[in-house]
Structure 1
Amino acid sequence: MEHFANRVEAGERLAARLLDDSRAATGLVLHAPVVLGLPRGGVPVAAPVAESLDAPLDVLVVRKLGTPGRPELAMGAIGEEGALVRNDDVIAMSRVDRRTFDEVRDRERVELDARVARFRGGVPPVPLAGRHVVIVDDGIATGATMRVACRVARARGAARIVVATPVAAPDSLAELQGSPDVDAIVCLSTPPEFMAVGMHYLDFAQTSDDEVVRLLAERRRR
């Protein structure tokens, strides 16, 4: 099973792959890209990617809707612009009723709005209209948060959306490949024994809000 030392090392390896793919004769095309990290854990991965591509770095704020009693299991996700994705299989398996789902969604919407204000600090989001957008996370388990992020980016006018991640569950990646909101995917590892993103990092310490704000500010200055 492949391991990454930490999110920064994973981001550096992901950046190298993106550069290699973009330089290939028939490879990935990136025109005036914008790099979006999914906070919090996706931002330290996205920062080296933005640096290598000489691209703006921004956040695209999403929130997983954790299943009651199993918060790590996503029964859906919400994002900016009112975006919503439901994992109907998880909802059915967990026997989550409409009222419970709506309560979790409304609670997470309050937190999402607070994080948008906290991370951007009044700075408007980087415009995406007509741009190529690389959306980065530290890993993809169910794919719910990435699907809602791609939906938001498309709604904001992104001309091309590239999903980039160090590690992903194979079935979730296959589902993303079939999405009309995803134009390309770059992933370093799709282990068949995938169980959780954190299992593929030697250091998977939680990313703080302050670190997200610092990384965004550093990239703006550059």
Structure 2
Amino acid sequence: MFRDRIDAGRQLSEKLMKFKEEDVVVLAIPRGGLPLGAIVAKTLEAPLDVALTKKIGHPSNKEFAIGAVSLDDIVLTNTMGVTQGYITEETKHIREKLLKRHDEYYKKRLPQNVKNKTVIIVDDGIATGNTLLATIELVSKQRPKKIIVAIPVAPNSAIKKLENTQKIDEVICLQVPYSFQAVGQFYEDFYQVSDQEAIQILEEANTSVKTNL
């Protein structure tokens, strides 16, 4: 059990210290991954950026991911009984939201160049791993040196799915509980991170990196 995302971020940072001497870029999954990503980035003295992806929910249960979408890619799983029309419409709506978020996050800066760098993808936890798969597809096209996935908690099924993805070099997870229903059950405080807070975290983290250079 983690007190909050700050606690989880600190614990995760300890496991990632071995990457401090590498050329690292931390990519957080917004919005919940940003408080953790900021701590990891500060600890490793690395820039922080966001990985813009969003899950496609099942038509009868939006919380159940049948895949995930980024601005450039789509990964689909568990689509039995789901029409192509639904997938097309959902993809369109999701990309409209991602584009809006992209414009908000990059008002004052450009995305980080991850080519030949160690990319550490951080989230506050994962349930199925499907959203991360789209992120990994997107990041791998930018030809990083290696891709590390770092999360506080996930079920064993999701960890195995990620470990079977050849594009990931390492998966670091603090807790792999036997009984897993939702990420939030492993946090005492799992408040929703707002867009305003996410933007502020991102700006402050990168101001700090510039100051330290």
TM over 0.5: yes
* d(CA) in 2 for partners of 1:145, 1:30: 29
After TM superposition, give the deviation of residue 69 of structure 1 in Å.
Answer: 3.0
1:138 matched residue in structure 2: 124
1:191 matched residue in structure 2: 177
Report if aligned partners of 1:5, 1:203 keep a CA contact under 8 Å in 2.
Answer: yes
1:7 matched residue in structure 2: 5
After TM superposition, give the deviation of residue 29 of structure 1 in Å.
Answer: 8.3
1:173 matched residue in structure 2: 159
* d(CA) in 1 for partners of 2:161, 2:148: 14
Letter in 1 for 2:73: A
Q: Secondary structure at the match of 2:65?
A: strand
1:32 to 17, 23, 26: 23
After TM superposition, give the deviation of residue 32 of structure 1 in Å.
Answer: 0.7
1:102 matched residue in structure 2: 88
Q: What are the superposed Cα offsets for residues 89-143 of structure 1, whole Å, 9 maximum, x if unpaired? A: 2x21xx2111111111111111111111112225210100000000001111110
Q: How many aligned residue pairs are there? A: 208
Letter in 1 for 2:188: L
Letter in 1 for 2:57: G
Report if aligned partners of 1:62, 1:149 keep a CA contact under 8 Å in 2.
Answer: yes
* d(CA) in 1 for partners of 2:44, 2:38: 10
Q: What are the superposed Cα offsets for residues 4-31 of structure 1, whole Å, 9 maximum, x if unpaired? A: 1111110111001112xx1xxxxx6862
Letter in 2 for 1:8: I
1:120 matched residue in structure 2: 106
1:25 matched residue in structure 2: none
Letter in 2 for 1:108: I
Identity in percent:
35
* d(CA) in 1 for partners of 2:6, 2:38: 8
1:45 to 36, 50, 53: 36
Q: Secondary structure at the match of 1:186?
A: strand
Report if aligned partners of 1:150, 1:181 keep a CA contact under 8 Å in 2.
Answer: yes
After TM superposition, give the deviation of residue 149 of structure 1 in Å.
Answer: 0.8
Q: Give the RMSD, CA atoms, in angstroms.
A: 1.3
Letter in 1 for 2:98: L
| Residue 72, structure 1, aligned to residue 56, structure 2 | no
Taking the TM superposition and a 5 Å limit, the aligned residue runs for 1:200-219 are 200-219=186-205
Q: Which runs of 5+ in 2 are unaligned?
A: 209-213
Report if aligned partners of 2:154, 2:177 keep a CA contact under 8 Å in 1.
Answer: yes
Q: Secondary structure at the match of 1:63?
A: strand
